[in-house]
Amino acid sequence: MSLSFLAAFLQYEVNVGLASYMSLAALGFSGLLVLCGRRRGDRVQHILSGGGLWFAAMVFGEVVSYSSNDTYSVLYGIVFIGVFFCARLVVQEIGLPNVLRAYAHAGFVTATLILVSGRQALLANEPGRFSGGTRAHPNLLSFILAGYLPVIVWRAMEEKERWRKRALILLSMTTFVLMFMTGSRGSLAAVLAGGIALLARAVGSGRLHRFRMNRFHVVVFLMMIPLVVMFLHQHNRIGHFEDFLYDFLKLNSTQRGLKSGFSGRTGIWQIAFRILRTHNRWLFGFGYRAGDRLVGTIDNGYVQLLFESGLIAGLMIFGSMLRVFYLLWGASRLRENNAWTRYYIMLWCMMIVYFFNNISTRYLFSFGSPFSLCILCLMAGSRQELVGGGMRARVMQKVKASPHVVAKTLAWGTAGTFRSSAE
């Protein structure tokens, strides 16, 4: 699974048409390994116990693609159905926590590769948007980094060894800086929205009231206030920082500014709505990936979902995503500060980043990036596999180890139950 997530990013570095299928090949191989195991009968029997709404929507979209006589759309739908089966098999076998751990490992490698390959552009302060020395578009690069950021922060919180924890904290800060350097306002706004939502939940639940500082920290904080105020007022530092943001993020640009209609995206959205209205395809859409040929690049996941899948399948797909978000919302409302709570809050923040980011990108329902592929794995999980049901509480009571050790040593057993790795 780590290779599948990593290959979804590395496909943009290879000028070969088959490279786009490397991540799918790794995912298919993982599913094949599950079918070669001794529990393959049980896995196949429960293959539709999770993500059934998603699967029904994909089959409906495949019927629409077939009726439109678009060969590419039909083949795309067949591959998509195969992605569902492979993701479902893997989730049943190793569980979503291990899938997220594999996703985190791919995030470590990806962020490090982008930092190494783009070090010259960072040090030289070259004009233009940062692409990390890759062939990927800066918006896509930022979308990938925004998906990895919550997981890297989560792993930094769970790490107990001091040097690893510091390394992961540094890597998370570096990932945010790299994402900012790409100049993608959509990904930056999505990450900030996730952080603000998390802060609002912390304030609402009273968790900030439990935060304590010793006297030394209070004294240092009080001494820093006048120094910071003097620094900001000297030579109008606040005004300079505002000018830097407007210039770097191109907020005043005619092409990418605040008055450019999302960099011309709204004009494309209007064309898509006009075509839907002309052909009266609101309910069924035009089939998978028909928007790329009939409209162009629809940089809005929701408009693209409506154009290609229609209201029926589109609402089913979006409802499946909202189902995941709702379950994670309920699971992350626990008062205990343990590893499970942090795990569910991380997934909840990831879904917020995903929903907000797709306002200006077209990766809401696809498998072309590791972030989208990870969300599809979440959609393929059943309720018990996603939030654990009551089994999680029973395991936490029986195990005497620390929450970090519990989260690290527990794995999903058969039929969505937990079992220790020692078993």
> Higher-confidence residue: 245 or 175?
175
Look at the block and give the residue holding tokens 């004294």. Answer: 219
Instruction: Give the pLDDT band (50/70/90) at residue 126.
Output: low
pLDDT of 414 higher than 90:
no
State the pTM of this model. Answer: 0.80
What the block records as the tokens of 233 is 């007022």
Q: How far apart are CA 87 and CA 90, in angstroms?
A: 5
Confidence of residue 412 (pLDDT cuts 50, 70, 90): very low
Query: pLDDT tens digits, residue range 227-278?
Result: 666 655 655 555 555 565 556 556 666 656 556 555 668 888 889 999 999 9
CB 103 within 8 A of CB 8: no
- The shares of helix, strand and coil residues in the chain, as percent rounded to the nearest 5, are 75, 0, 25
pLDDT of residue 404: 42
Buried-state track 357-388, b at ≥16 Cβ within 10 A, e below 16: bbbbbbbbbbbbbbbbbbbbbbbbbbebbbbb
Q: For 178-189, how does the pLDDT look when each residue is reduced to its tens digit (9 = 90+)? A: 888 887 888 888
Is residue 351 packed enough to be buried (19+ CB in 10 Å), middle (13-18) or exposed (0-12)? buried
Crossing angle between the packed helical segments 339-357 and 370-379, to the nearest 10 degrees: 120
Range from 44-48, 123-127, 394-398 carrying the lowest mean pLDDT:
394-398
Amino acid at residue number 146: A
With bands split at pLDDT 50, 70 and 90, how would you rate the model's confidence at 323?
very high
pLDDT surpassing 70 at residue 339: yes
Residue 395 has pLDDT above 70, yes or no: no
What pLDDT is attached to residue 109?
92
> What band does 70 get if pLDDT is binned at 50, 70 and 90?
confident
Higher pLDDT, 390 or 104: 104
Q: Is residue 404 a contact partner of residue 140, using CB atoms and an 8 Å limit?
A: no
Q: Angle between the 71-117 and 138-158 helix axes, to the nearest 10 degrees?
A: 60
Please give the residue that has the higher pLDDT: either 211 or 31: 31
The predicted-structure confidence for 199-208, as pLDDT tens digits, reads as follows 888 776 655 5
Percent of the residues in the chain that have a pLDDT greater than 90, as a whole number: 29
Residue 405: C-alpha distances to residues 153, 160, 299, 410 (Å): 18, 10, 42, 8
Q: Per this entry, what is the length of the chain?
A: 423
Q: What is the Cα–Cα distance from 255 to 148, expressed in whole angstroms?
A: 29
**Residue 95 parent element (H or E):** helix 71-117
Residue 403: predicted pLDDT: 46
Beta bridge partners of 418: 412
Which range, of 99-103, 285-289, 317-321, averages the lowest pLDDT?
285-289
CA Rg value for the chain: 23
> Residue 328 pLDDT > 70, yes or no?
yes
Mean pLDDT of the chain: 79
Query: In the numeric block, which tokens belong to residue 43?
Result: 């896995």
For residue 231, which amino acid is it?
A: F
For the ranges 5-9, 61-65, 149-153, 381-385, the maximum mean pLDDT occurs at: 149-153
Residue 63 neighbours by CB distance under 10 Å: 15
Residue 388 to residue 61: CA distance in whole angstroms: 31
